[in-house]
Amino acid sequence: MTAEGKNPVNVAVSGASGQISYSLLFRIASGDVFGKDTPVHLRLLDIPQAVSAAQGVAMELFDAAFPLVTGITVTDKAEEAFEDAQAVFLVGSKPRGKGEERSDLLAANGKIFGPQGKAINDHAAKDVRVLVVGNPANTNCLIAKASAPDIPANHFTAMTRLDHNRSLAQLSDKLGAPVKDFAKMTVWGNHSATQFPDVTYATVNGESVADKVDEKWLADEFRPRVAKRGAEIIEVRGKSSAASAASAAIDHMRDWFAGTPEGDWVSVSLPSDGSYGIDEGLVASVPCRSVNGEWEVVKDLEISDAQRKLIDANVEELRNEKKIVEDSGLI
């Protein structure tokens, strides 16, 4: 307990010495997730070769003298990192190597996310909230959840909030209205180029976005731009998105703990409850509201044939990814 009377929140971040964490950790430390009056204990996890670099990040966090940081743990042991964790950001993953197929990538990451899921199951708080950022995020999340039978399924999520935010930014630019005026954007499916950023229900100042843009712009510019924005950033910046990814992770976890604004929803990848024709258990992005600290899928939206086709392409891709990890004995 701190002098102010609030217990610190235990927050674990894997891939702690990587570029996303270099932004993420400092924003968690400054109170952007749990509020400016909630202390945090940061638990940094990385692989043995990167622990020294993670120690360096911890030294910088220390030097920043954040009033809310009550402790920093640096470790290469998942059990230690996840001890009593209430929030876990799984950022670290293995990138695709030269000549590797997607199946190799899925298999390599399965070996990371399976044991991490088990360590979360055995050592974290029972109501821990997990966000998988490391790619392929949806299926990594599926694997982690499969190893954590004691944690509620909807406490395992994967990040499509960056795709959601990118969509809002593109719409804001196109329609000349501030991001805050938009609501009910939806990104369906997988965090991959197949994803379906969908403006069907989106509003700007309460008016339909779909009425203000034409299908040609949506199909030729908006959807491909959002889905391939990661590649565009790499081309221009020379490195993959980092601060914007960290910011989306902050938005996701903050809304999960504090709730989504009235009259709005956000895009969250979580194990499907069968809604919208998505196979139960597949980790797919759907519109969600956060109510009393739990994600609730927005139900009963009407789906047109055109939407159905784009959602189904994602379901098919996620099914294939699941099959690969099943065939490799990872779940």
Q: List active site positions.
A: 191
**Gyration radius of the chain over CA positions:** 19
**Of 247, 266, 258, 268, nearest to 30 (Cα)?**
247
What single string gives the DSSP state of each residue in 132-195?
Answer: E-SSSHHHHHHHHHHT-TTS-GGGEEE--HHHHHHHHHHHHHHHT--GGGEE--EEEB-SSTT-
CB of residue 91 to ligand NAX, shortest distance in Å: 5
Positive or negative torsion for Cα 232, 237, 242, 245? negative
Residues 101-140: x where in contact with ligand NAX by CB under 6 A, - otherwise, as a string: -----------x--------------------xxx-x---
| Binding region for ligand NAX (CB under 6 A) out of 17-25, 34-42, 281-289, 317-325 | 17-25
Long-range CB pairs of 79-83 (<8 Å, 24+ gap) are 79/119, 79/122, 79/123, 80/43, 81/12, 81/14, 81/43, 81/44, 81/45, 81/119, 82/12, 82/43, 82/45, 82/116, 82/119, 82/120, 82/123, 82/124, 82/128, 83/10, 83/43, 83/123, 83/124
In the complex with ligand NAX, the residue whose CB is nearer, 132 or 331, is 132
Single out the segment in contact with ligand NAX by CB under 6 A; choices: 89-97, 123-131, 199-207, 219-227.
89-97
Binding pattern for the stretch 165-204 against ligand NAX, x by CB under 6 A and - elsewhere: --------------------------x-------------
Residue nearer to ligand NAX on the CB measure, 86 or 93: 93
> 238 labelled as ligand-binding?
no
Residue closer to ligand NAX, measured from CB, 118 or 203: 118
The secondary structure of 38-104 as a DSSP string is: --EEEEEE--GGGHHHHHHHHHHHHHTT-TTEEEEEEES-HHHHTTT-SEEEE---PPPPTT--HHH
Return the residue nearest ligand NAX (CB atom).
18
Secondary element (H or E) of residue 196: strand 196-198
Binding map of ligand NAX across residues 133-172, x = CB under 6 A, - = no contact: xxx-x---------------------x--x----------
Does 20 appear as a known binding residue? yes
Contact pick of 40, 45, 282, 311 for ligand NAX (by CB under 6 A): 45
Q: Which residue has the tokens 């008016």?
A: 207
Binding mask 237-266 for ligand NAX (x = CB under 6 A): ---xxx--x---------------------
Verify binding: residue 8, ligand NAX, rule CB under 6 A: no
Site for ligand NAX (CB under 6 A): which residue of 6, 32, 50, 104?
A: 50
Residue from 30, 32, 47, 225 in contact with ligand NAX (CB under 6 A): 47
Cβ-contact 68, 291 below 8 angstroms: no
Beta-sheet pairing, 207-208 with 203-204: antiparallel
Q: Shortest approach of ligand NAX to residue 82 CB, angstroms?
A: 11
Measured CA to CA, the distance from residue 228 to residue 31 in angstroms comes to 31
The answer to whether the annotation marks 208 as part of a ligand binding site is: no
The verdict on whether residue 135 carries a ligand-binding annotation is: yes
Assess 93 for contact with ligand NAX (CB under 6 A). yes
Residue numbers at the binding site for ligand NAX (CB under 6 A): 14-15, 17-21, 45-47, 50, 91-94, 112, 133-135, 137, 159, 162, 191, 230, 240-242, 245
Q: Which residues are documented as binding site for substrate?
A: 96, 102, 135, 166
